[in-house]
Structure 1
């Protein structure tokens, strides 16, 4: 079993946590790439941008695309199946996306390889035993993650790393 990445979105649709366990080149392509020009109308190319900035922009773009995919699929499931149906996962030829939403509208999304079964219980355990214990109950953690401030908790990150390694 291979876990590629984990994304956590808050109720305001902000990506508050991203973790990747494999090299980006090994991660299946989940989007098509645009040309080398910047979208803000400048004549600079992508080669003029520092590598760290390009990486941050790519992570941000990936998070936005994943959230948009989840939003669209959830809406389609509700329209076709009714309000009782839930979106749990989908699979492509390259990866499988697992989805879990908490009662407080926190969304946990995990990308894995194709041979992994249902990860809903694993995502629930990450939320209940790690996120709630180390982030929600922490007096130093912000209650809202406004303006791009994400989860920056060493205990959560260490516990998540140990948890994922133990489930592999």
Structure 2
């Protein structure tokens, strides 16, 4: 059993965060303008270049990686190092998948499909079983999708091995732990701005540590 990927959608139906672990086929980078900046470097749109060969900052991916250190109470605002990296290393990290294998879908299209499935199944369940019934997961022969929705409208979606038990408690742990600590309580993160995602170094590292510590992660 294993965990494949994590998506977080805001109340505006927009994917604001993505992370994966055991994907055999990585999605293609999103088209320019297809996703918000600071969702994930690995699926960001290909960067346009200036005449001098440097990244055009006007439309290039920019992850502010702003965090609030809970142990010191000091606001840490570290500028993205994207503009300091060689162009070759950036393009290779964004466009190449492990083994050179991709799904054939740009990430923005994949994110829309995942969200569309969630909304369709949730609406179907409410119509068939009543408003009190909740959609929490579904299983196919290839994967299992797990859903946790917050009162504020954020949706945490995880794809795992089809044999995995419900991981809704894990999604809730991500919400009440790293998400509240490094996103909601971080004054430098713009919630519901519709301008950028929530790619945050502390948040991403905390989620990664939590997932890798699970018994189902292999």
Q: Do they superpose with TM above 0.5?
A: yes
TM-score, length-normalised on structure 1?
Answer: 0.80
Q: Would you say the 8 A contact 2:5–2:23 is kept in 1? A: no
Q: Name 1:123's counterpart in structure 2.
A: 171
Is the counterpart of residue 63 in structure 1 residue 111 in structure 2?
A: yes
Separation of aligned partners in 1, 2:135 and 2:110:
20
**Which aligned runs of 4 or more in structure 1 are off by greater than 4 angstroms?**
50-55
Deviations 1:58-80 (A, max 9, x none): 11111100000000000000000
Q: Secondary structure at the match of 1:12?
A: coil
Q: Name 1:74's counterpart in structure 2.
A: 122
Q: Name 1:152's counterpart in structure 2.
A: 199
Q: Would you say the 8 A contact 2:6–2:157 is kept in 1? A: yes
Higher Cα radius of gyration: 2
Separation of aligned partners in 2, 1:19 and 1:72:
23
Separation of aligned partners in 1, 2:163 and 2:203:
27
Aligned length: 145
Q: Secondary structure at the match of 1:146?
A: coil
Q: Secondary structure at the match of 2:18?
A: strand
CA RMSD of aligned residues (A): 2.3
Q: Name 2:150's counterpart in structure 1.
A: 102
**Structure 1 portions without partners, runs of 5+:** 30-49
Q: In structure 2, which of residues 173, 179, 185 is the aligned counterpart of residue 137 of structure 1?
A: 185
Deviations 1:72-105 (A, max 9, x none): 0000000000001000100001000000100101
Q: Name 1:113's counterpart in structure 2.
A: 161
Q: Which structure: greater helix fraction? A: 1
Is the counterpart of residue 166 in structure 1 residue 204 in structure 2?
A: no
Q: Would you say the 8 A contact 1:16–1:145 is kept in 2? A: no
Separation of aligned partners in 1, 2:121 and 2:191:
28
Separation of aligned partners in 2, 1:129 and 1:64:
26
TM-score, length-normalised on structure 2?
Answer: 0.62
